[in-house]
Amino acid sequence: MKNRLFFILGGLVVGINLLAQTQNPQYISYIAKYREMAIEQQIKHRIPAAITMAQGLLESSAGQSELAVKANNHFGIKCASDWVGRTYTHDDETKNECFRQYASAADSYEDHSLFLQRKRYESLFALPLADYKGWAHGLKACGYATDPKYADKLIRIIELYNLQSLTLDKNLQEAGLVSAKDTTWQGVETDKLIETTIEETHAIQDHIEVFANHQSGRINGVRYIVANEGESFASLAVFLNMYERTLRKYNDALDTRELQPGDIIYIYPKKNKASRKTPFHYFKPGEDAWHIAQKYGIKVKSLYKLNGIPYGTELSTQQRLKLRK
């Protein structure tokens, strides 16, 4: 127990010290723009989102490198003999080396995952998703990069920007997309160890505006951003690198609903009930079901179902609404 407590406290001290370091605004913007892609690759190919994101940041200089800008190549992947797509010539270790060129950043992220399916990287997939240090050192050992400090650089990026919060996102765990085994690193449940550190990070992220110029945070455990003046679901979907229909679905937003400045917009599915801290809501004049549901991070249909009200019925000004059973 003493060893476990020491490990937890030590981890928190390290986390707080890391958070005190200077964070690069370009890195923060890159994370906000491509986080969904990294998470999608984890779901599809079982590559830790933290590792994918850290590699993307490092290899592309947060999207500012020549390869990223001119060839949509975010991971520095060279042509090799089996590449049949478009190519881009770039000076790297030698002059005029052949690199893969992609139609989009999404194609680069997908090809990076497929690239890691090669036999030389096979041993990495026996590691838990949470073992970012094992993955980082494994990538270096398997020959992904020649830089002797490559693994250390990935680890430093993951810890400074708390990229483990992508790999171990609570929404993924609740959806069964991250197993109990994958949340364990060196025999310790990392989900419990990093929870407080994540909360500390969120406080700092709110201060430095993780989503560029958007207020952001969590309600009911679900991530959200706040819409700014002049934004629409379409423009936010582009900003978040999501399909508009997906963003609308997460927010119970019919095609006709338009965004207003200050609207809370969730970037993950909402839940069927509110937090234990908010079991009820007292209806106020001018409110509607959609804004109430958004306020507490629950689905509109669940709000009606919890209160035994037919879906779509106009709410009464005298109602005390249940937000959970």
Model confidence pLDDT, tens digit, residues 109-130: 999 999 999 999 998 988 888 8
| For residues 208-226, average pLDDT | 71
Instruction: List the domain boundaries for the chain.
Output: 2-183, 211-266, 280-322
- Kindly tell me if the per-residue pLDDT of 5 is higher than 50: no
User: Do 2-183 and 211-266 have matching folds?
Assistant: no
Closest CA to 37 of 131, 104, 129: 104
- The number of CA neighbours under 13 Å toward the Cβ of 242 is 22
The class that CATH gives domain 2-183 is mainly alpha
Do 207 and 27 meet the contact criterion of CB atoms below 8 Å apart?
no
Q: Which CATH architecture has domain 280-322?
A: Roll (3.10)
Instruction: Show Cβ contacts of residue 100 under 8 Å, excluding neighbours closer than 6 positions.
Output: 71, 73, 77, 78, 79, 83, 85, 86, 87, 88, 108, 111
Q: What is the pTM of this model?
A: 0.54
Task: Give percent above pLDDT 70 in the chain.
Answer: 81
Q: In the structure, what pLDDT confidence band is assigned to residue 267 with cuts at 50, 70 and 90?
A: confident
The class that CATH gives domain 211-266 is alpha beta
Do 286 and 256 meet the contact criterion of CB atoms below 8 Å apart?
no
